[in-house]
């Protein structure tokens, strides 16, 4: 079993045991659904109810129907077993950390982090002298080679400017 982080419980919501989750996970529509099994610390829990509210995901867990029952989860990370997700592809954005990035055949750097600035996911690439941000969309990503851990990007004007 491979657990991947999908969010963090930032608070409770209401008095009926709902948990307020902040999630930037790219496939949260596959995670936050009724009957999905999630992991908090070393224990598994089943989601019995889900809804989206503002920028948060709100869930209720099986057997937890009161705010006092769920206070212990506040501040904890939520994980899911990777194999429980029905992904069209076998690669997640978090898997791209450590990949080498090439622009027109030349190595420009390595993916060191990911950032979500609201408009979409950005790959943070460390070059020799600075970090650059590359949107994770087809218009900028030419291809991803999972076997060689390489990302080829489409070159565009202004890529290396601050």
Spatial distance between the Cα atoms of 158 and 53, rounded to a whole number of angstroms: 37
Segment 63-76, tens digit of pLDDT: 999 999 999 999 99
pLDDT category at 160 given cuts 50, 70, 90 is low
Set out the domains of the chain in order of their start, with CATH numbers: 3-84 (2.40.30.60), 93-153 (2.30.30.240)
Residue with token string 């506040």: 74
Segment 24-48, tens digit of pLDDT: 787 788 888 899 999 999 899 999 9
Average pLDDT of the segment spanning 84-98: 75
Q: Encoding tokens for residue 138?
A: 């087809």
pTM (predicted TM-score): 0.67
Q: Specify which residues 75 forms β-bridges with.
A: none
Segment 96-117, tens digit of pLDDT: 889 999 998 899 999 998 877 6
Q: Given phi > 0 = left and psi -120 to 50 = alpha, else beta, which region is 102? A: beta
Are the C-beta atoms of 92 and 81 separated by less than 8 Å?
no
Spatial distance between the Cα atoms of 162 and 135, rounded to a whole number of angstroms: 15
């Amino acid at each position: 079993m491979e657990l991947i982080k999908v969010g963090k419980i930032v608070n409770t919501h209401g008095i009926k045991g709902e948990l307020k989750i902040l999630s930037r996970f790219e496939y949260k529509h596959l995670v936050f659904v009724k009957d999905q099994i999630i992991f908090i610390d070393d224990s598994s829990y089943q989601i019995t109810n889900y809804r989206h509210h503002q920028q948060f995901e709100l869930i209720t867990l099986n057997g937890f129907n009161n705010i006092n029952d769920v206070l212990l989860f506040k501040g904890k990370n939520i994980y899911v077993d990777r194999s429980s997700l029905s992904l069209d592809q076998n690669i997640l954005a978090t898997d791209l950390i450590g990949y080498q990035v090439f622009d027109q055949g030349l190595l420009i750097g390595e993916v060191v982090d990911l950032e979500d600035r609201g408009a979409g996911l950005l790959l943070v690439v460390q070059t020799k002298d600075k970090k650059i941000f590359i949107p994770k969309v087809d218009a900028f990503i030419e291809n991803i080679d999972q076997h060689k851990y390489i990302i080829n990007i489409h070159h565009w004007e202004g890529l290396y400017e601050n």
